Amino acid sequence: MVRRLAKAIREASGNGAEAKLKRAQLRHRLLTQLPDRLSGGKLSRAYRAMEVEVREWTVAAPGWPTAFDGLRIGQVTDLHAGELITPEHAAGIVARLRGRGVDMVVCTGDVTDLDPDHAVEPLNMLGSLEAPMGSYLVLGNHDALQSAEAVASAARRAGVKVLRNQSISLRRRNATLRVGGVEWAETVSSCAKTVDLAAAEPHGRPDLLLAHNPKAFRRAVQLGVPLTLSGHTHGGQLALRRQEPTFPRRAAWRRLHAGPYVDGGSHLYVSSGAGSWFPMRVNRPPEVVVLTVRKG
């Protein structure tokens, strides 16, 4: 076993797509399968039994378009559908947004953990939710491990609009809401490049930016984007104490970890997500989010 593990580690070295996939598979064996088997399946059963919170949050952004004051956005992120969070369970989590009176539904990435086929069921649920202004997806780093295009195609078949470094314009009462979405990028500088692509003409700077990596918020602030929604961090999954957000924290010099942040007139919400890549959460319960956006 030690030799097999050493060989797997050697094969997982490098920065190419194949090496990244092998590292993710190795991580899955070490941090998901092994602890769960040692516990006789108790960890995964306990994880799937956790209550998924529906967190309500109100954002007051001065640059938000007046005609869209009071817009309600349902956000789900980091489902990681696969062995730990089954596709059926992930679809049930998405369904928690049903009946919440949302105008728009967004998924900020990592629908699947490893296999693109596991994204199909939760994406079908996402596309079936009643949301007058549509359902939208940006891809996360796990979505791209095997085939980003396979996940994107499953989303399109489900009626979910995939935003890949681009923006679209939505209309209401002769007013426009610009919604931008960016591909997964790892660093602040690479995130900035994707945000610039989404902010290019003909639609221009987004009013709402969807980005799996919250590091994209740094460039969004510079462009004056009123609201950015992200995931990726899982809130760390483990925390010494539970923290309920009561007001947005200032983003400057902070790690953008979980919950609401503000920098000038730009707001960010980093959801702790609903899934996991190891079978444990402490003081970071899985969540889906309903945001009400006001002209503040």
| Identity at 262, one-letter amino acid code | V
- pLDDT averaged over every residue in the chain: 90
In the chain the beta strands, taken as DSSP E runs, fall at: 53-61, 71-76, 104-107, 135-137, 161-162, 166-172, 175-182, 208-211, 227-230, 249-250, 259-263, 266-270, 287-295
Whole-angstrom CA distances from 292 to 61, 217, 289 are 11, 19, 10
The label of the residue with tokens 């539904």 reads 105
Each residue's pLDDT tens digit, 174-219? 899 999 999 999 999 999 999 999 999 888 999 999 999 999 999 9
Report the distance separating Cα 246 and Cα 193, nearest Å.
Answer: 32
**HSE toward the beta carbon, residue 38, CA cutoff 13 A:** 8
- Token readout for 221 is 């602030």
DSSP letters along 228-241, please?
Answer: EEE-SSGGGSB-SS
Question: In the prediction, which pLDDT does 67 show?
Answer: 95
Q: Report pLDDT for 5.
A: 46
In this prediction the pTM is 0.91
Q: Which residue has the higher pLDDT, 164 or 235?
A: 164
Residue 241 CB-density burial (10 A; 0-12 exposed, 13-18 middle, 19+ buried): exposed
First to last CA, the chain: 59
Residue 266 pLDDT > 90? yes
Structure confidence by residue, pLDDT tens digits, 207-263: 999 999 999 999 999 999 999 999 999 888 877 777 777 778 777 656 888 999 999
The first and second tokens of residue 73, run together, are 């956005």
**Phi and psi based region of residue 41 (left: phi greater than 0; alpha: psi -120 to 50; beta: remaining):** left
- Helices assigned H by DSSP within 39-147: 42-48, 87-94, 120-128
Angle CA 11–16–22, to nearest 5: 40
Q: Which residues contact 62 (CB under 8 A, 6 or more apart)?
A: 226, 265, 295, 296
CA distance 67 to 20: 44
pLDDT for 44: 80
Give the H/E segment covering residue 182: strand 175-182
pLDDT for residue 295 is more than 50:
yes
pLDDT at 187: 94
Residue 202: cis peptide before it, omega within 30 degrees of 0: yes
Q: What is the largest CA-CA distance in the chain?
A: 65
Question: In the Cβ-directed half-sphere of 202, how many Cα atoms lie within 13 Å?
Answer: 3
Amino acid at 202: P
Non-local CB neighbours of 189 within 8 Å, separated by 6+ positions: none
pLDDT digits (tens, 9 = 90+) for 51-93: 899 999 999 999 999 999 999 999 999 999 998 899 999 999 9
The listed CATH number (3.40.50.2300, 3.60.21.10, 3.40.50.920, 3.10.520.10) that belongs to domain 53-295: 3.60.21.10
Residue ranges of the chain assigned to CATH 3.60.21.10: 53-295
What value does the mean pLDDT take over residues 33-37?
Answer: 82
Least trusted range by pLDDT, from 7-11, 245-249, 286-290 = 7-11
